[in-house]
Structure 1
Amino acid sequence: MRLAVLTGGGDVPGLNPCIQSIATSAWQRGWDVVGLRRGWEGVLEIDPSDPWANENSVMMLDKDRVRGIDRQGGTILHSSRCDPRVTDEGDQTQKVLDTLDALEVDVLITMGGDGTLRFSAYLSSLGRNVISIPKTMDNDVYGTDYCIGFSTAVTRSVQAINSLRTTAASHERIAVIELFGRRSGETALLSGFLSQADRTVIAEVPADMDVLLPLLLGDKQANPESYAICLVSEGAKLSGATDFADEINKSNTSRTGLNIGTQLAREIEARSDERTIVQELAYLMRAGEPDAMDRMVGFAFGALAVQLIEQDRMANMVCLTDGNYGVVPIGTLLEDSKGVNVSGLYDANQYRPNLIQVEGMPMFLY
């Protein structure tokens, strides 16, 4: 039996523990494990007629290669954002299939967010043996309560937010701190709750400055150190503003418009006498080694994936539901989208997390 492992989309802490867990579990069963580097883009760079010639795209995940990687952030397999169905050369799905055949891959294990896992589900629909593992610090893959990388992103964010309080206080300003979160505000919501930020603007609820600004001014006035903290998801927008959907799906360097943090800060300064500090946490949220939660989930997801293969239970995605590890069909994420339960977890009038109902909820509340 030969397994192939691939990581796609943005990197997150916890991927390397998962890779190590897959490799270790496979060796225990006498199986080989191949690492496909740079996601789907790397797969497309492999020549099916001589697949092993491209050392930059293929590596054997032996004991020496994965020893100690659980302590590292990112992914040793590197990553890319690529859908083989949509390239400059057209649909290259067949090349992916030919490459997997040439490498004699029996089962493919993919780790990714929405984009990577959608193509994984597509390969599964074509009859390929695929197991998928959800990872994204936005925690927005439908079908699982938890994705690898979410806990570390929240941990990093809370640490940074609390550190920025000293500067906001020293200069007596309103600090606008922007967090990743394109379509879902879960990371900002939980980070805002745990850091006790004054206000949190999530992607699901537009920011009405006629409501938000008086709240922030009141927060600053009530604070003995005369500052306020406002978090905002990168996918949020101001009420009445042009839809930012096309811009937010571009890379940071390709966007032509101002990021929401800067927009919000400019509105604060234009409508009041207050000065602001703007800070994008961005890639710092997923930099560095995984925290205990992501290391634990990474190990568990990897082991579960191999167990499913041993049981011949292909075409599945590993998941966490109500705090329990489980499995759902690989195409589950195609059925719906996942975001903040605004009515249950957020006060849209106060721009604050609002845990109305806690009993019976999973640990991360989603």
Structure 2
Amino acid sequence: MRLAVLTGGGDVPGLNPCIRSIAMSAWQRGWDVIGLRRGWEGVLETDPTDPWSLENSAMVLDKDAVRGIDRQGGTILHSSRCDPRVTPDGDQTQKVLDILDALKVDALITMGGDGTLRFSAHLASLGRNVISIPKTMDNDVFGTDYCIGFSTAVTRSVEAINALRTTVASHERIAVIELFGRRSGETALLSGFLSQADRTVIAEVPVDIDQLLPLLLADKANNPESYAICLVSEGAKLAGNEVDDAEISKSNTNRIGVNIGTQLAREIEARSPERTIVQELAYLMRAGEPDAMDRMVGFAFGALAVQLIEEGRTSNMVCLTDGNYGVVPIGTLLEGTKGVNVSGLYDARQYRANLVQIEDMPMFLY
């Protein structure tokens, strides 16, 4: 058996523990494991007729290659954002299939978010042996309660938010702290709750500045240190000034308008005498080594993926549901969207977490 492993989309802490777990589990079965470099884009750059290109498109995941990588952030395989069905040269699915054949891949394990795993489901529909593993710090893959990277992103965010309090208090400002989260506000909501930020604006609920501003002014006035903290998901929108989702999905350098954190800060300063501090946590949320949760889930997801291949149960996605490891069909993520349960977890009038129901909820409250 020859396995191939691929990481796609944005990097997150926890990918390397998962890669190591896959390699270790495969060795125990006497299987070979290779890692495909730079996601689907790297695959497409491979020339299946060129032996040198084939040799350099993949790395052997032997003991030396994966030794100690579980303590590292990012992915040793590197990554890219690419859907082979949508390229300047059209649909390149057949090229991907040809390259996998040239590399003599019997089964493929892919780690990614919505984009990477959609193409994985497409390959499975064509009869390929594929297992997908959900990873995204936004935790927004439909079909699983948890994605690799989410816990570390929350941990990093809470640390940064609390560290920023010293500067915000020293200058008696209102801090607007923007977190990643284009379609889902889960990361911002949980980070806001754990850091006890004054208000949190999430992607699922447009923000009414006339409603939010009096709350922030009161928060600042009632704080003995005379400051307030407002978190905001990057995908949040000002009520009446909704930005097209396609614009939000672009990288920061390619967006036409200013980011939501700056928009919100400008409105605060225009409508009140208060000064603001704007801070985008951005890539710091996914930087550095994984925390204990993401190491644990990375190890478990990797081992489960190899077990499924051994049992002939491909065309599945590993998942966590109600705190239990499990499996769902690989196309499950195509069936819906995942975000904050606004009615159960969020007070849209107060812009903060509202934990109405705790009993029988999973650990991460989703």
Which category of TM-score, normalised to the shorter sequence, fits these structures?
over 0.9
Cα distance between partner residues in 1 of 2:55 and 2:201: 45
* Residue 347 (1) aligns with residue 347 (2): yes
Would the alpha carbon gap of residues 55 and 227 (structure 1) be closer, same or farther in structure 2, given more than 3 Å must change? farther
Q: Deviations over 1:71-99 (max 9, x none)?
A: 00000000000000000111100000000
* Partner residue in 2 for 1:71: 71
Corresponding position of 2:268: 268
- Offset from partner CA, 1:128-168 (integer Å, 9 cap, x none): 00000000000000000000000000000000000000000
In the TM superposition, what is the alpha-carbon distance from 1:51 to its structure 2 partner? 5.1
Show the counterpart of 2:119. 119
The one-letter amino acid of 1:336's match is: G
- CA shift at 1:243, angstroms? 2.4
The residue matched to 1:23 in structure 2 has which SS? helix
Q: How does 1:128-277 map to 2 (within 5 A)?
A: 128-277=128-277
Report the TM-score when normalising by structure 2: 0.99
Is residue 338 from structure 1 mapped to residue 338 from structure 2 by the alignment?
Answer: yes
The answer to whether the Cα contact below 8 Å between 1:51 and 1:102 also exists between their aligned partners in 2 is no
Looking at structure 2, the residues matched to 113 and 56 of structure 1 have their Cα atoms a distance apart, in angstroms, of 25
CA distance in 2 between partners of 1:357 and 1:199 (Å): 20
State the aligned residue count: 366
- Identical positions, percent: 86
The CA distance in 2 between the partners of 1:243 and 1:44, in whole Å, is 33
* One-letter amino acid matched to 2:192: G
CA distance in 2, matches of 1:56, 1:337: 37
Secondary structure, counterpart of 1:224 in structure 2: coil
The answer for the alignment partner of 1:298 in structure 2 is 298
- Relative to 1, partners in 2 of residues 1:177 and 1:56: Cα closer, same or farther, differing over 3 Å? farther
Distance apart, 1:189 and its partner CA? 0.3
Residue type matched to 1:28 in 2?
Answer: Q
Secondary structure at 1:48 match in 2? coil
Q: Report the Cα offset of residue 303 of structure 1.
A: 0.2
Aligned counterparts of 2:77 and 2:140: Cα–Cα separation in 1? 23
* TM-fit CA distance, 1:252: 1.4
User: For 1:74 and 1:300, how far apart are their aligned partners in 2?
Assistant: 18
Q: Which runs of 5+ in 1 are unaligned?
A: none
2:41 counterpart of 1:41: yes
**What's the C-alpha RMSD, in Å, of the aligned pairs?**
0.8
SS of the equivalent of 2:101 reads: helix
- The one-letter amino acid of 2:223's match is N
What residue in structure 1 maps to residue 3 of structure 2? 3
Q: CA deviation at 1:289?
A: 0.2
List gaps (5 residues or longer) in structure 2: none
Contact 1:176–1:277 (Cα < 8 Å) also in 2: yes
CA contact (8 A) 2:54 2:103 kept: no
Distance 2:336 2:342 in 1: 16
Equivalent in the alignment of 1:15: 15
CA distance in 1, matches of 2:59, 2:344: 46
Using the alignment, how far apart are the partners of 1:242 and 1:323 within structure 2? 36
Displacement of 1:49 in angstroms is 1.4
Is 1:286 matched with 2:286? yes
Alpha-carbon distance, 1:48 to partner: 1.1
